[in-house]
Chains A and B, each alone.
Chain A
Amino acid sequence: MTADTTTGTTTDGSAGQPPVPVSALPELKLAYRGDAMDLFLIALKNVFLTLVTLGIYTPWARTNRRRYMWRQVEIDQQRLDYTGTGKELFIGYLKLLGGYLIFFALPKLVGRFSKGLGGFLQIVGGIAIVIIIPYALYWSRRYLLGRTRWRGIRFGLVGDAGAFARTWIWGGFLTVVTLGLYGSIMANRVHGSLINNSRYGDARFSYDGRDRDAFRIAIRGMLLSVVTLGVYFFWYRARLLRFRLSHTRFDRAVGTIDVSGGLLFKLTLINLFGNALTLGLAFPWTVTYTFRTLLERVRFVGAIDFALISQQPQSGDAAGDTLAGALGVELGI
């Protein structure tokens, strides 16, 4: 960290002045300061209390883990805060249970009196599950961002979950029709939609990665992965990561990640073998190592005027997060 991005002084590049060399631009560095043993202890405590309470502790367990992991993420020497609570997640689970009863138990119950109507409701429920996946993704992201605070200011996700769902469903349809060719464009649009609607306080992130560039990277990645019997896949993923970060902007800063295919290959091997050989017990160590390694390679280069960023109301409902968890479609953060 070099230049002072914290005082709130605006550094306007006035006309006629020479452009600031890239090396002189302020940088926001990321880091993960977590300790694997601490995470292991939290996991043990969570498992213990979840068992004792026959599962009721689950929302508090999730919150404990998140609170710890968020706290270990450092951006520009300031840690993230997780402000979600176990109570709101518990209420989210109750809402999920209500939804479950409506979608699954009700058709069964109706089916006892009218097989036709029960069957119809089951079909409607099945279709609803497919449609609700992108909504769950969006709502979950909105909840998580709404509970993430940095420098006293909350993140958030604005925009319409419906528009995101349409991008997702239509993209999924086109991906099937084009035998997967459209997949990279769909992924780019979905990613773009999430980034463009993400905000920090009242300031928005933006993503300008073009579909055709994402498509070119994916086609090259897939072809070379086939030729190299899958080995190139890690280099493809690294390239995609670099592409996405380099097109992510916030204020006048742009993201960058210094990650290579070799590093992703190494991380995958460490995660795979570390967890397989210990039946998963080593996950606090593999997760900590992965987070440390990846986050310390992420930077945002360029000035950000923090004094002009102001607080916004908290957004998001925990039910969306529990729904995404139940559907197994969490995006993380």
Chain B
Amino acid sequence: MSDSWRGRYVDGRTAAVRDVALTAKDGALLGRVLDANVELFHWPRAALTFEIVEPGVVAIRSRDSPDASVTTVSSEALRQLRGAVPAAPRVGRRGRALMFGVGAVALAGTFYASLPPIARAVANHVPPAIEADLGQGLSALLATQYCETKAARTALLHLAVRLGASPQMELHILDSDADNAFTFPGGVVIVTRGLIDHAHGPDEVAGVLAHELEHVRLRHVTIRFVRGSLMTVLWQASVGDYTGMLAIDPKTAFDLANLRFSRDDERAADQGALERLAAAHVSSKGLQDFLERLPAKTGAAPAWLSSHPASAERLGHIRRAGAGATNPVQAALSAADWDVLKRGCVRTK
């Protein structure tokens, strides 16, 4: 009989743990009751599996009885059964950390960089009906806060149509003091009562409206929606298991990251707005005045600006376009229509 060594054996039928004497014979592993010649198991070499539980401790199993196992700390066991024992990884822990870390960062970076075109391509394939469905669903959430009179909506719609919008588009005035305007997918545009109240004339409202119509035309909201979904899916797939332990909400992190995309979108929307205003013979001075005036008035970034950062570069571009314009211009709305719009919100609260 060859040398034997000790191990702890569980048979997978009861929870008892037995101390056993182990021997290797012709590659097979034999287990006997300690100090007695009673054989407990005889596992052929081909069926053996090994798992390093901790340094120096190996759990040995047989594929034929997967719930049974024997753990041993004997280096003799490892020596005699060598070849089947999993080898220690060649690359050290630090090396693996570096390898996977650099790989993960590189992949995440590549994905992040390629996200805008992917999101645009996906968004462009979203059927208009689904976009409209989504927009109307979101718009319905605010329905109790819409305050426009029929006349005001008509005046606003006339202005939008003059700026190149479809007469079928959905427009609302939201009962809110904030200077804000935003769009939902499918072409729903919402301006706040505060924006109209604080505007120095219809040209300012026209400037903001032209800007929002460009967001609609360029499908920015849908693209952001798709981009956000893709990032969230990837984030959850990557570290979803660990998010419960994270202090920062991934969505918040992504919203912050999304601002960079927003600035790109804003520049594009500004450019389109200038073209719409020029085509409608409305001065771009309104948009410029609105953007310049707001920070001074509130002393902090107002709502519209916080999501629409008006950098010096953006303002400079709008100013230059205004200075270079030779088109004859008319007021965006007649005095009567402007008056209707100014009084066009029946307060909901």
Contacts and interface: CB of A to CB of B under 8 A. Distances in A.
B86 interface: no
Contacts of B111: 51
A44 B15 contact: no
Contacts of B234: 51, 54-55
Interface in B237-289: 237-242, 245-248, 253
A306 B245 contact: no
B248 A71 contact: no
Contacts of B54: 33
A55 B237 CA distance: 5
B14 A306 contact: yes
Nearest to A112: B129
A41 interface: yes
A308 B233 CA distance: 48
Interface stretch (B93-101, B207-215, B220-228, B325-333): B93-101
Interface in B47-103: 53-54, 67-69, 93, 96-97, 100-101, 103
Contacts of B237: 50, 54-55, 58
Interface stretch (B5-13, B164-172, B296-304): B5-13
A272 B248 CA distance: 10
Contacts of A33: 54
A272 B247 contact: yes
A291 to B, nearest CB: 11
B104 A152 contact: no
Contacts of A52: 103, 107
A187 B17 CA distance: 36
Interface stretch (A135-143, A240-248, A276-284): A276-284
A7 B16 contact: yes
B108 interface: yes
Interface residues of B, number: 38
A86 to B, nearest CB: 13
A162 to B, nearest CB: 28
A323 to B, nearest CB: 14
Given A272-B247, A280-B246, A8 B14 contact: yes
B104 A286 contact: no
A48 B100 CA distance: 6
Contact of A280 (B67, B233, B245): B245
A248 B11 CA distance: 27
B14 A280 contact: no
Contacts of A8: 14, 16
A61 B241 contact: yes
B67 A152 contact: yes
B239 A311 contact: no
Contact of A153 (B15, B239, B253): B15
A47 B239 contact: yes
Best-surrounded residue of A37, A51, A149, A279 (most CB of chain B within 10 A): A51
- What's the interface size class on A, roughly? 35 or more
A226 interface: no
Contacts of A311: 12-14, 67
A78 interface: yes
B15 A271 contact: no
A147 to B, nearest CB: 12
A79 interface: yes
Contacts of A292: none
Contact of B238 (A7, A51, A275): A51
A1 to B, nearest CB: 12
Contacts of B245: 271, 275, 280, 283, 286-287
A54 B13 CA distance: 41
A205 interface: no
Contacts of A29: none
Interface string A222-258: 0000000000000000000000000000000000000
B103 A48 contact: yes
Interface string A27-47: 000000100011011011111
19 contacts: A33-B54, A45-B96, A48-B100, A48-B104, A50-B237, A51-B104, A55-B238, A71-B53, A79-B53, A150-B15, A152-B68, A153-B12, A153-B14, A272-B247, A280-B246, A280-B247, A286-B245, A307-B14, A309-B14
Interface of A: 6-8, 33, 37-38, 40-41, 43-48, 50-52, 54-55, 58, 61-62, 65, 71, 78-79, 149-154, 200-201, 271-272, 275-276, 279-280, 283, 286-287, 306-311, 325
